[in-house]
């Protein structure tokens, strides 16, 4: 349940508790091992209370992903693509750093549940970021798809590798490498 700010304080606290415990559990175990019963026990709520707000764990995960994507879209909304792709990439890494371990697991894990919801998030972000680009809009649809696949797979692939290797490079170094690799391909594509 995405909060509007007009909810009763008890409702907000309950939702916040559910989300907080859920993110802790994501950090501790595979998504497939998370059970509503344990989540409710940790959040100190009744199981029926959980189901008032979320029909399934997938719905809770989808809501968290929606919140992540909305926050990220807000951060990149004024950037013009493809010209400011370097700034978009920078924001992606800085945003990802701020979100922490649960975000990393959702973004990097191969789990099918994460993959399905992550794909929706990527589509929302891509649409929000690229839809107003005249250069992008002038491309045939198959080229738009190729470009998005290239950018998304390259940036997420670098991010995943960076996470899996324990962030051995600074965030600034990984942003520099990402932009060098990705911008070279995108600039050449639009030339």
The domains found in the chain, sorted by start residue, are: 9-55 (1.10.10), 58-190 (1.10.357)
Please state the pTM of the whole predicted model.
0.88
* 176: exposed, middle or buried (Cβ count in 10 Å: 0-12, 13-18, 19+): middle
What value does the mean pLDDT take over residues 70-80?
A: 94
Phi, psi for 113 (deg, rounded to 5): -60, -45
Non-local CB neighbours of 110 within 8 Å, separated by 6+ positions? none
What's residue 98's pLDDT? 96
Q: How confident is the model at residue 9 (pLDDT cuts 50, 70, 90)?
A: confident
Q: Mean pLDDT for the chain?
A: 92
Specify the pLDDT at position 54: 96
Q: What local confidence, expressed as pLDDT, does residue 6 receive? A: 61
Of the candidates 21, 16, 1, 26, which has an alpha carbon nearest to the alpha carbon of residue 113? 26
* Cα–Cα distance measured from residue 191 to residue 173, given in angstroms and rounded to the nearest whole number: 27
pLDDT tens per residue, range 103-116 = 999 888 876 667 77
How many helices (H) and strands (E) the chain has is answered by 10, 0
Asked if the model's pLDDT at residue 5 lies above 60, the reply is no
**pLDDT, tens digit, for every residue of 128-186?**
889 899 999 999 999 999 999 999 999 999 999 999 999 999 999 999 999 999 999 99
Mean pLDDT across 67-89:
95
Q: What's the rounded mean pLDDT across residues 66-90?
A: 95
Q: Is the pLDDT of residue 40 over 70?
A: yes
Can you read off the two tokens belonging to residue 9? Answer: 């304080």
């Amino acid at each position: 349940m995405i909060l509007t700010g007009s909810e009763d304080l008890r409702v907000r606290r309950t939702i916040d508790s559910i989300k907080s415990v859920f993110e802790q559990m994501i950090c501790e175990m595979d998504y497939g091992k998370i059970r509503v019963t344990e989540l409710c026990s940790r959040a100190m709520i009744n199981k029926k209370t959980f189901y008032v707000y979320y029909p399934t764990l997938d719905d809770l995960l989808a809501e968290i992903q929606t919140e992540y994507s909305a926050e990220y879209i807000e951060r990149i909304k004024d950037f013009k693509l493809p010209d400011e792709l370097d700034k978009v990439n920078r924001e992606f890494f800085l945003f990802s750093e701020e979100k922490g371990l649960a975000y990393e697991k959702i973004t990097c894990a191969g789990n099918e549940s994460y993959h399905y919801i992550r794909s929706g998030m990527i589509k929302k972000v891509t649409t929000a970021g690229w839809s107003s680009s005249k250069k992008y809009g002038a491309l045939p649809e198959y080229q738009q798809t190729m470009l998005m696949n290239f950018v998304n797979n390259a940036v997420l692939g670098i991010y995943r590798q960076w996470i899996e290797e324990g962030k051995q490079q600074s965030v600034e170094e990984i942003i520099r490498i990402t932009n060098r690799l990705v911008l070279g391909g995108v600039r050449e594509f639009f030339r």
